[in-house]
Amino acid sequence: MKFRKFLAAGAGAALAFSLAACSGGGAGSSSDSSASGDDGAMMEEGGTIGVAMPTQTSSRWIADGDAVKSGLEEQGFEVDLQFAADDIPTQSQQIDNMITNGVKALIIAAIDGTALSSQLQAAADAGIPVISYDRLIRDSENVDFYVTFDNYNVGVQQATSLLVGLGLLNEDGSEGDASGPFNVELFAGSLDDNNAHFFWQGAMDTLQPYIDEGTLVVPSGQMDIEQAATLRWQQETAQKRMEDLLTGNYVGTDKKVEGVLSPYDGLSRGIITALQNNGYSGTVEDGFPVVTGQDAEVESVKLIVDGVQFSTIFKDTRKLAEQAVVAATAYLNGEEPEANDTETYDNGVKVVPSYLLESDIVYMDNVTELLIDSGYWTQEQVDKGVA
Ligand code: BGC
């Protein structure tokens, strides 16, 4: 249907573009192209694709932006890559500009998943396919495809690693030796990011039985996502909340925090700083609280190797970028990208066909295998904690 809409908008023929021709034989070899339109246009260039990323304050999004850009360039496209400093009006304006400048497709990692409806309407009116990148764009029918990870499972993995750190589970999933009860505190991401809800749901479904039986105790009582949320995923906000949780529930008592569910490495570092400022020290082995994470940001990978942060979730942004490139290229070839999930991601208006990737739990003992051997980070980057 969408495809027909693009064709109807006159975009299909002009955009028809042979991936094989472009990546293989270069600009001129379009003989195996299925393009029915103006071959001259194809021979010139692939056109520009707009890539809107949320922020550069997190190394994860810089890596995503770089990987999408180079993947698209390898396919012969030009790329307008923009970061929006986590500011919603900035991102809206960047996307407006991309549409005005005539991009052939949009790849968007939204800051606020509900704030882009008018941009997406303009994109649809111009026949520009929209790929929602990592975060689902909500409340709009003009989202054509979604590339992401299995976000519910990411939450399950975060909670699982917390249980492993506390000794309630072993890494292989079998029951651990510890029995608790353990004091834990819970953090969630930004409520305007659809992913935050999936991570939380996966995590809480995993932790709830332990809370119900009293093995895990949340001394603050803050167990709703609204209470645990961290607007814009800000490190300072998480640090402040952890400090408040300590002051309000632990300082002056004999209680100690033993674990913290954190859904993103930036938050984890804020939480760790708050704990350190309140007298918690050393490594997890020495009794420092078990703090989880997400994204395998190099600063946190160093903390994991140092034994201070317990775990993170590795989502290979190179693979995500590759899927975004595959999807964009499919649209520009007049095809529908291949989805492997057509049920999970309802954006409030429609279920968006999705391509989901798998993630891995990173512990100190598999950093080398998962992150260094795969070339995601070099040993030197991990040693220094700098990308
Ligand atoms: C991403 C996470 C990331 C978070 C904060 C989420 O939408 O899926 O990987 O940790 O945003 O940037």
pTM equals 0.88
Beta-carbon contacts of residue 126 (< 8 Å; ≥ 6 apart) = 9, 11, 99, 102
Give the ligand 1 atom nearest the CA of 55: 12
pLDDT digits (tens, 9 = 90+) for 327-343: 999 999 999 999 999 99
Task: Of 334, 344, 304, give the one whose Cα is nearest residue 154.
Answer: 344
In this structure, CATH architecture of domain 151-314: 3-Layer(aba) Sandwich (3.40)
> What CATH fold (topology level) applies to the domain 2-148+317-357?
Rossmann fold (3.40.50)
Give distance in angstroms: CA of 169 to centre of ligand 1.
26
The Cα 213–Cα 233 span in angstroms is 31
Q: What per-residue confidence (pLDDT) applies to 4?
A: 33
Give the ligand 1 atom nearest the CA of 313: 9
Give distance in angstroms: CA of 139 to centre of ligand 1.
20
Indicate the top mutation candidate among 57, 134, 267 to test ligand 1's pocket, ranked by most ligand atoms within 8 A of CB. 134
Q: What per-residue confidence (pLDDT) applies to 46?
A: 79
Indicate the top mutation candidate among 147, 234, 295 to test ligand 1's pocket, ranked by most ligand atoms within 8 A of CB. 295
Give distance in angstroms: CA of 264 to centre of ligand 1.
7
The binding-site residues of ligand 1, defined as CB within 6 angstroms of any ligand atom, are 58, 60, 134-135, 189, 193, 195, 233, 264, 294-295, 315
Fold agreement (2-148+317-357, 151-314): yes
Give the ligand 1 atom nearest the CA of 263: 10
- Residue nearest to ligand 1 atom 9, measured at CA: 295
Give the ligand 1 atom nearest the CA of 195: 7
Structural domain spans, the chain: 2-148+317-357, 151-314
Q: What per-residue confidence (pLDDT) applies to 41?
A: 37
Q: What per-residue confidence (pLDDT) applies to 217?
A: 98
Per-residue pLDDT in tens (0 to 9) along the chain, 387 residues: 333 333 333 333 333 333 333 333 332 233 333 333 333 334 335 799 999 999 999 989 999 999 999 999 999 999 999 999 999 999 999 999 999 999 999 999 999 999 999 999 999 999 999 999 999 999 999 999 999 999 999 999 999 999 999 999 999 999 999 999 999 999 999 999 999 999 999 999 999 999 999 999 999 999 999 999 999 999 999 999 999 999 999 999 999 999 999 999 999 999 999 999 999 999 999 999 999 999 999 999 999 999 999 999 999 999 999 999 999 999 999 999 999 999 999 999 999 999 999 999 999 999 999 999 999 999 999 999 998
- Residue nearest to ligand 1 atom 5, measured at CA: 233
